[in-house]
């Protein structure tokens, strides 16, 4: 088609007038129309097909994007829901931990109080035992000192005369026993 146009232009240049030859004009128009018709006949469907394909591709991509978007939204919803459950679980775990801590605290306090009471009881018993032991030791010491002093006083006063008197008392008392 370009070759034909060049020939027409060359012919026009030979006649040296823009509208110099009527036949050429007619042939030119006819050629144009033919070319245009061929273009409409062959080119337009191709263009339409290409445009339809492109349109289809764009529609598909839009549909895919919509699907992706829906998926993403669903995923987001799931994740949001999961987050909501995780928060609830976390709260439950924390609540349970707090409850357990409270129970352990109560148990520990009770145990500590029992231990303290037992220690106090043991201390009371030990103090009482120590007191009684000290009293017994003191009593024994006083008794020993008393006995020692008594022995010393008695022995010091046991003269021969006293010993003789004691023998006489024994004989008298024994003789009086019947």
Partner 1 sequence: MSSDLIQSYAGAFHAVAAAEGMLVVVEEELFRFGQALEANDALLSVLSDPSVPVARRQQVVEDLLGGQASPATLGLVSLAVGAGHGAELPEIVRALVERSAASRNHAVAEVRSAVALTADQTTRLAAAITAATGKAVEIKVVIDPSVLGGLVTQIGDTVIDGSVRHRLNQVREAIA
List contacts with partner 1 (CB under 8 A): 140, 142-143, 146-147, 150-151, 154-155, 158, 160, 162-164, 166-175, 177-178
Task: Output 2 or 159, the one with its CB closest to partner 1.
Answer: 159
User: What's the min distance (Å) between Cβ of 178 and partner 1?
Assistant: 6
User: How far is the C-alpha of 112 from the C-alpha of 118, rounded, in Å?
Assistant: 10
* Cβ(58)–Cβ(52) below 8 Å: no
Smallest distance, partner 1 to C-beta of residue 144, A: 8
Nearest distance in Å: CB 157, partner 1: 9
d(CA 108, CA 126): 26
Task: CB nearer to partner 1: give 114 or 162.
Answer: 162
Give the shortest CB-165-to-partner 1 separation in angstroms.
9
Closest C-alpha among 30, 27, 33 to residue 11: 27
Which CB sits closer to partner 1, 81 or 151? 151
- Closer residue to partner 1, CB minimum distance, 55 or 150: 150
Integer angstrom CA distances of residue 81 from 70, 71, 147: 16, 15, 97
Measured CA to CA, the distance from residue 78 to residue 84 in angstroms comes to: 10
Least gap, CB of 171 to partner 1 (angstroms): 5
Q: How far apart are CA 81 and CA 79, in angstroms?
A: 5
From residue 47, how far is each of 1, 31, 44 by CA, in Å? 19, 22, 5
For partner 1, which is the closer residue by CB, 125 or 154?
154
């Amino acid at each position: 088609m370009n070759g034909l146009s060049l020939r027409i232009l060359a012919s026009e240049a030979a006649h040296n007038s823009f509208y110099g030859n009527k036949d050429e004009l007619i042939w030119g128009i006819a050629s144009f129309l033919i070319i245009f018709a061929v273009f409409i006949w062959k080119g337009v469907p191709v263009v339409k097909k290409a445009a339809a394909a492109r349109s289809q591709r764009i529609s598909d991509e839009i549909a895919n994007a919509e699907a992706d978007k829906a998926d993403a939204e669903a995923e987001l919803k799931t994740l949001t829901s999961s987050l909501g459950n995780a928060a609830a679980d976390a709260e439950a775990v924390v609540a349970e931990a707090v409850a357990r801590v409270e129970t352990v605290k109560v148990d520990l306090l009770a145990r500590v109080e029992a231990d303290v009471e037992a220690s106090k009881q043991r201390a009371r018993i030990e103090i009482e035992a120590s007191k009684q032991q000290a009293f017994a030791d003191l009593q024994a010491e006083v008794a020993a000192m008393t006995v020692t002093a008594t022995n010393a006083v008695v022995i010091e006063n046991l003269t021969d005369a006293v010993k003789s008197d004691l023998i006489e008392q024994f004989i008298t008392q024994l003789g009086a026993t019947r």
